[in-house]
A and B are shown apart, each in its own frame.
Chain A
Amino acid sequence: MKQPLRNLTIQNKLLVVVVFSMMVILLVNIFLFANVNDIVKRLDDIYVSNVNLNDLSDALGSVQTSMTQYLNTKTSDAMESYYKDTKTFGTLLEMLNDRPTSNEPKLMEKNIRRMSYSYLRLTNQAIEAKRGRNVEKYNRYYEDATELYHYIASYIYSLNNKQFKTNSDSYEVLSFSLRYLEIVSSAVLVLVALGNTFLIILVTRNITNPLKALVEVANEVGEGNFNIELPDVSTNDEVGVVSKAFNKMVISMRSYIDRIKQNMKTERALKEKELMMENHLKDAQLKYLQAQISPHFLFNTLNAGAQLAMMEEADRTYEYIQKAAELFRYNMKKNNEIVTLREEMELVDNYIYILNVRFSGEIHYEKSVESGVADKLDRIMLPGMILQPIVENSVNHGIRDISWKGLITLHVYEKEEHICIEMKDNGIGIRPEILNKIMTGTLKEEDLSKASNGIGLDNVTSRLRLFCDREDVFEIFSEGEGKGTTVRIYLPGYGRCD
């Protein structure tokens, strides 16, 4: 029974159990009702024989009475009732047994029947004799009939008694059977009810157990534990379908997670590789630049040139070579050091001077320091080589190819507890898309390194951000093409002035 049940849906399972239970109870009830009916029918039948015999006895008495009445009065009424009674009696006699048998009551019936026919013959003869006014004969027939009447009455009485006794015994047995049936039926109903309850428990457990298992596993999965044993699905009902779907879902989630992990691993490895490559490249560029010229040699050469210019009294040449030598010295010395703002500003002065010598004083430079800040310039610290690359950018990309007079202004002021260094040019400005690339750091380096001395804006912003340990330390904006470019550096507090 269990195997076919597994393939049924919950609805059909419940239907089967309920129908089965109802059928069993129905059958038991039908059985009980049939038996009760049977007993009641038997009880009804028991005394039928007595009732019949009483009818027979009454009919016999009526015949005797009406015959006597006719013999007494000779009225046609008496005659009529005699014939009527004879007919009734004859009909009842037809129902009696007429065969020799070992069954005592049946044999008595036979004797009663035969004697009754003799009796009716005698009564008829008595009536006939009365009609024929044969007094002697009708008296004799009457006496014989009366004697026989007594015998028959006695026979009927005896048979009635006998049957009543038998019927009473039967009644007793049936009555006992009825009581017994009551007990048996109660017991059977209780047993069937218990059996049904048990069956329903079995079937519902068959339904709920897989659900419980599923809930348990779902809870585990909900807590993030995918490495669990999946519930074994053996049924094909709704719960079985849900369990199978759940198992499938857990399995595909597992494989999806594995795949993501694998992808992340691969991506990380690729990034590492890329970073390393960039590092190596930088390293190579640096080494290349360093290899180009020995700074000390260059510095000594320039110093020798300055002394030569001084001896020849060429003052402007001496000054120029002197400033160029300072620039290189600074560059060589402070490239990776923390410097004061004043030093940085002096470097910008030197750089502008050299450029103006180179470009015949084309670049106008204006410098202003807010009065409150001027005396702090020696205490405001920042990474070296920050301002010079910005000025270099302004010259190279801003004012080199313009038709009007190029102007670069440097303004240092204090704003909301920040030291703000603002560098402004009136060059060609920057297109918004390029500006955006610079701000997000996605501008390719090769775009910038063509004409620079190697230190790009990206480098400047990176170092500033690291130095100040915050992001909003540098901003660059341009109002459009031909409108110049402004760069602002915010040093929190006094930078690292303390």
Chain B
Amino acid sequence: MILCFCLILLSFLVILSSVIYYRRQILQSTQLIENYENEHFDKHYVMITSDSKSLFWQNVYHGARSRAAEYNAYLELLGTNLDVEYDETELLKIAIESQVDGIVVEASDDEQMVALIDKATGTGIPVVTVLDDSRNSTRQSFVGISSYNAGHEYGSQICEILEKDAAEKDRYQVIVLMGEENYDASQNLVYSGIQESVEEEYKGKASVEIKTSLISQKSAFAAEEVVRDIFLSEEQSPDIVVCLDEMYTTCAYQAAIDYNKVGKINILGYYQSDVILGGIAGNVVYSTLTVDAGRMGENCIDALWEYNKTGYVSDYIAVETVLINADNIADYIGGEERETAPSQSDDTK
């Protein structure tokens, strides 16, 4: 009798667990169909950037998205879910025709871009430019670092390197790597800032030549090619390379190692990826200028929200820059891990 009850109980348990497992399987399939979360919002904002996959822009996006959620708005990083690659102007057109409630765009002074921003604001869509401005457009606000100040920061770093240099050359060469499309805009201000700063601060005897090297963002793999040329040119090998982009910094870091230029060419980087921070820790990269990307994203959404609410917003919202070098790298190696953790998990979704 007891055996009978045990058998019945066992059978019951087996059946129950099988059924529970089965229901979970079905639920899983349902979840796949319904595709993750399905939360509804009041507003739909979009963000358009030149390189949505870079860590910097991912951090900006996640900061902005979290802030948007606080205002019951959803921020879409436009273009990431399309199988066709569109540039910023095309994405901007899509955003305008999709009649979104607000646009955050990494802009430029390009005519087409200005026209589109004007069209957007004309149809009642507020536009906030981020990092790179489109000063001639009717955009509502610009959130970014002060390029001029950034230039001065880089200039100071250049002076520091030159003064430390033991070789005591007569002539030093500095190359600033810039995006071709943004040449007229903020990066030019950075360049001016560098020049000004070096002229004011450098007290040495040698002459300092500051040149720019433009990298087209439209052509693929251009950055790596340009950096390779710079590092391999024997007669014109620069002493300092200033990178105004996260990707250029990574390329320069890799080139310095590959072509055995560590110590010969000093790299001044931009933003803080794991690779860049590792470069500083390993004395391959001299220093890097970074911003709080998440904060920058939050500022963009704040600006859009304020405009939606009041009809007015500050024309320029500054985000402070921070210099990371060998002195304070220890603070960032730990901090970076914490900061990138969410973005990595989101990437894997």
| Chains A and B come from one and the same complex | yes
A residues sitting closer than 8 Å to B (CB atoms) are: 35, 38-39, 42, 45-46, 99-108, 110-111, 114-115, 118-119, 147-148, 151, 154-155, 157-158, 161-162, 166-167, 169-170, 173-174, 176-177, 180-181, 184, 187-188, 191, 194-195, 198, 202
In contact, B81 and A158 (Cβ under 8 angstroms): yes
Residues 84-99 of B, flagged 1 when their CB comes within 8 A of A and 0 if not, give 1010001001100111
Residues of B contacting A42 in the complex (Cβ-Cβ under 8 angstroms) = 26, 29-30, 33
CA distance A184 to B36 in the complex (A): 29
Residues of B contacting A118 in the complex (Cβ-Cβ under 8 angstroms) = 97, 99
Q: List 15 A-B contacts (CB under 8 A).
A: A42-B30, A45-B33, A46-B33, A100-B43, A103-B39, A105-B35, A108-B81, A115-B94, A154-B82, A158-B81, A170-B33, A173-B28, A173-B29, A184-B15, A184-B18
Residues of B contacting A147 in the complex (Cβ-Cβ under 8 angstroms) = 93
Q: Apart from A114-B97, A115-B97, A154-B84, what 20 extra A-B contacts exist at CB < 8 Å?
A: A103-B35, A103-B37, A107-B44, A107-B74, A110-B44, A111-B94, A114-B98, A118-B99, A119-B97, A151-B93, A151-B97, A167-B33, A170-B33, A177-B26, A184-B15, A184-B22, A191-B14, A194-B11, A198-B7, A202-B4
In contact, B11 and A195 (Cβ under 8 angstroms): yes
**Which of B7, B14, B29, B33 has a CB less than 8 Å from the CB of A177?**
B29
Task: Judge if B32 is at the interface, Cβ distance under 8 Å.
Answer: yes
Task: Judge if B25 is at the interface, Cβ distance under 8 Å.
Answer: yes
CA distance A169 to B35 in the complex (A): 11
- B22 CB to closest chain A CB, in angstroms? 6
Name which residue of chain A comes closest to B81, CB basis.
Answer: A104
- A14 CB to closest chain B CB, in angstroms? 19
**Given known A-B contacts A104-B81, A107-B44, A174 and B22 have beta carbons under 8 A apart:** no
Task: Judge if B83 is at the interface, Cβ distance under 8 Å.
Answer: yes
**Which of A101, A154, A198 has a CB less than 8 Å from the CB of B4?**
A198
7 cross-chain pairs, A with B, having the tightest CB-CB distances, nearest first: A100-B44, A173-B29, A111-B98, A100-B41, A103-B38, A170-B32, A191-B11
Task: Judge if B40 is at the interface, Cβ distance under 8 Å.
Answer: yes
In contact, B94 and A151 (Cβ under 8 angstroms): yes
**Which of A103, A157, A170, A191 has a CB less than 8 Å from the CB of B36?**
A103
Residues 1-17 of B, flagged 1 when their CB comes within 8 A of A and 0 if not, give 00010011001001100
Residues of A contacting B90 in the complex (Cβ-Cβ under 8 angstroms) = 151
Specify the main secondary structure of chain A where it touches its partner.
helix
CA distance A110 to B41 in the complex (A): 12
CA distance A433 to B32 in the complex (A): 121
- A157 CB to closest chain B CB, in angstroms? 6
B residues sitting closer than 8 Å to A (CB atoms) are: 4, 7-8, 11, 14-15, 18-19, 21-22, 25-26, 28-30, 32-44, 73-74, 76, 81-84, 86, 90, 93-94, 97-99, 101
In contact, A102 and B93 (Cβ under 8 angstroms): no
- A275 CB to closest chain B CB, in angstroms? 67
In contact, B40 and A101 (Cβ under 8 angstroms): yes
Residues of A contacting B29 in the complex (Cβ-Cβ under 8 angstroms) = 42, 170, 173-174, 177
Residues of B contacting A155 in the complex (Cβ-Cβ under 8 angstroms) = 82, 94
Residues of B contacting A158 in the complex (Cβ-Cβ under 8 angstroms) = 81-84
Residues of A contacting B94 in the complex (Cβ-Cβ under 8 angstroms) = 111, 115, 151, 155
CA distance A194 to B25 in the complex (A): 28
- A30 CB to closest chain B CB, in angstroms? 13
Which of B18, B33, B39 neighbours the largest number of chain A CB atoms within 10 Å of its CB? B33
- A33 CB to closest chain B CB, in angstroms? 14
- A154 CB to closest chain B CB, in angstroms? 5
**Given known A-B contacts A110-B44, A115-B94, A191 and B33 have beta carbons under 8 A apart:** no
Residues of B contacting A45 in the complex (Cβ-Cβ under 8 angstroms) = 33
CA distance A319 to B323 in the complex (A): 191
Name which residue of chain A comes closest to B11, CB basis.
Answer: A191
In contact, A101 and B93 (Cβ under 8 angstroms): no
CA distance A187 to B41 in the complex (A): 47
Residues of B contacting A35 in the complex (Cβ-Cβ under 8 angstroms) = 22
**Given known A-B contacts A102-B39, A173-B25, A195 and B97 have beta carbons under 8 A apart:** no
In contact, B22 and A191 (Cβ under 8 angstroms): no
In contact, B76 and A107 (Cβ under 8 angstroms): yes
CA distance A188 to B98 in the complex (A): 54
CA distance A161 to B7 in the complex (A): 50
Which of B8, B32, B84, B97 neighbours the largest number of chain A CB atoms within 10 Å of its CB? B97
Name which residue of chain A comes closest to B18, CB basis.
Answer: A184
CA distance A161 to B82 in the complex (A): 9
- A174 CB to closest chain B CB, in angstroms? 5
Residues of A contacting B83 in the complex (Cβ-Cβ under 8 angstroms) = 154, 157-158, 161
CA distance A173 to B30 in the complex (A): 10
- A134 CB to closest chain B CB, in angstroms? 21
Residues of B contacting A148 in the complex (Cβ-Cβ under 8 angstroms) = 93, 97
Residues of A contacting B97 in the complex (Cβ-Cβ under 8 angstroms) = 114-115, 118-119, 148, 151
In contact, A180 and B25 (Cβ under 8 angstroms): yes
Name which residue of chain A comes closest to B76, CB basis.
Answer: A107
Residues of B contacting A102 in the complex (Cβ-Cβ under 8 angstroms) = 36-39, 41, 74
Name which residue of chain B comes closest to A38, CB basis.
Answer: B26
- B94 CB to closest chain A CB, in angstroms? 5
CA distance A162 to B42 in the complex (A): 25
- A39 CB to closest chain B CB, in angstroms? 7
Name which residue of chain A comes closest to B10, CB basis.
Answer: A191
- A107 CB to closest chain B CB, in angstroms? 6
Residues of B contacting A107 in the complex (Cβ-Cβ under 8 angstroms) = 44, 74, 76
CA distance A45 to B39 in the complex (A): 22
Residues of A contacting B98 in the complex (Cβ-Cβ under 8 angstroms) = 110-111, 114-115
